[in-house]
Amino acid sequence: MLSAQLQMSVQQRRELKPLFAFPAQPKLESQWRDMEWTEEQKTSLMKTISSYRPICHEVTQARVLLLGPVGSGKSSFVSSVQSVFNGRVTNRAMVGSSLTSFTKKLQSFHIHCQKGEDPTGLVLCDIVGLGGGEMTGLTLYDILSVIKGHVPEGHKFSPDQPVRSETVGYVKKPSLKDKIHCVAFVVDGSKILTYPKGLSTTFQQLREHISELGVHQVALLTHVDQICPETAKDVTKVYESRIIRDMMSKAGALLGMSTSYIVPVKNYSSELDLDASTDVLLLSAVDHILQYAELYFQDNTPQHTGPKIV
């Protein structure tokens, strides 16, 4: 089992600082990452993602595992990305509260283009959130089994029934298409300062084992609109925000990861209509993920050296 210190008590969560309790800081003079916020950029990113196909001929879609604490925004990210391609806000993945994980099983979401076209080359895989004394039924072995491709679609995780070869539907000899090709850690920017101390150890333990499998990892910093009032009003200010830049650094320390692997996102939550700038931020995150998934395929695609010379 991983660290048993992941679950904060209800009372502790009630005592958390309210929205926008972070100290106000002047915005930076320029963006600390280059980003275009135009409709043309949105269209370009959608085209890039829609046309993406793995370099490996054995695989038609990149499988990305979203992994993070309960309430970090994993399911919301799935729904938000699909909303962009649908052209309207939809809730593709069921979302729970900040204290409980609605997701109880392994669910793979094929991201579809508009108008019923074929799926994109991206599959976002959601599993139960990290939290609770026993990781809400999720063990390190379970997570690694998912990444290795042994866990069947729809498998419900239980602390009493860890994944094993006798598990119904267990994939004994997973092919490359069954495996996870990139892991995206998801952390809530508004909770970075209040996550339990043991969570950092858990993340870094996970990252070490996942790295041994040759799987690249990135991270999403969610709820950026809840830590910066200016970004809440206008998402194009995200890369001008000093507080968000600082939270990115703290997320890097939490994960044991360089901030170059971390991207901020704003999920759709209470909105009924899409916002072009929010779409650009979401699509940029997807493009970031796919770049690292493609590295996996480059590392695992057999090299064809041409016809054998006799």
Q: Is the pLDDT of residue 46 over 70?
A: yes
Q: Which of 126-140, 202-216, 258-272 is least confident?
A: 126-140
Percent of the chain with pLDDT over 70: 82
Residue found by looking up tokens 């539907």 in the block: 169
Specify the 3-state DSSP secondary structure of 243: helix
Q: How far apart are CA 247 and CA 166, in angstroms?
A: 43
Nearest CA-CA partner of 246 in 264, 261, 267, 229 = 264
Q: How far apart are CA 165 and CA 152, in angstroms?
A: 11
The Cβ of residue 121 has, within 10 Å, a number of other Cβ atoms equal to 20
Q: How far apart are CA 217 and CA 293, in angstroms?
A: 9
Tokens of 78: 């799935």
In the chain, the domains with their CATH numbers are: 36-299 (3.40.50.300)
Sheet holding 62-67, edge to edge: 107-112, 119-126, 62-67, 182-188, 216-222, 262-264
pLDDT score for 24: 61
Mean pLDDT of the chain: 85
pLDDT score for 53: 94
pLDDT score for 87: 92
Q: What are the tens digits of pLDDT across the range 197-235? A: 889 999 999 999 999 999 999 999 999 999 999 999 999
The Cβ of residue 90 has, within 10 Å, a number of other Cβ atoms equal to 13
pLDDT score for 21: 52
Using CA atoms in the order 149, 77, 256, 130, what is the torsion angle rounded to 10 degrees? -70
Residue found by looking up tokens 């963006």 in the block: 31
pLDDT score for 218: 98
Burial class (CB in 10 A: 0-12, 13-18, 19+), 232: middle
| Cα radius of gyration (the chain) | 19
Residue found by looking up tokens 């929205």 in the block: 19
Specify the 3-state DSSP secondary structure of 24: coil
Specify the 3-state DSSP secondary structure of 246: helix
Q: Which of 21-35, 49-63, 68-82 is least confident?
A: 21-35
pLDDT score for 228: 95
pTM of the model: 0.86
pLDDT score for 171: 93
Tokens of 96: 């729970």
More confident residue, 66 or 96: 66
Nearest CA-CA partner of 188 in 226, 160, 245, 142 = 226
| Residue 23: pLDDT band with limits 50, 70, 90 | low
